[in-house]
Amino acid sequence: MATDIFADAVTQLEHINGTLRIEFAILKPGEPSSAPRQLVQAARVVLPEIVAQRLCLALYDYLKKEGLDPTNLVSRGITAQ
């Protein structure tokens, strides 16, 4: 059975030795509660290049079909960072 992972952010993308590594993070509450929250690594996914490319296309097609076309963000000046 697959493990569900919730992520607040993608904190790192690396292209190394024919693989794409995607690091996901969650917001950890600050201690004490008034302290700023910190991003903490939750998971890393490592994909062969072709799988990463297919995932990108599939995700783009799905988001577009759902009315969440990423190009709309670009036209509003919003970037990936």
| pLDDT of res. 11 | 94
CA distance 33 to 19: 39
Task: Return the beta strands (E) in 29-73 as ranges.
Answer: 38-48
| Residue 19, domain member (yes or no) | yes
Total domains present in the chain: 1
| Residue 64, domain member (yes or no) | yes
CA distance 38 to 46: 24
The predicted-structure confidence for 12-55, as pLDDT tens digits, reads as follows: 999 999 999 999 999 987 666 666 778 999 999 999 999 999 99
User: 22: domain range?
Assistant: 9-75
| Residue 67, domain member (yes or no) | yes
| Residue 69, domain member (yes or no) | yes
With beta carbons less than 8 A apart as the criterion, state whether 1 and 32 touch.
no
* Average confidence (pLDDT) over 43-72: 95
Does the model's pTM come out above 0.95? Answer: no
| Residue 63, domain member (yes or no) | yes
| Residue 15, domain member (yes or no) | yes
| Residue 2, domain member (yes or no) | no
* Average confidence (pLDDT) over 56-80: 90
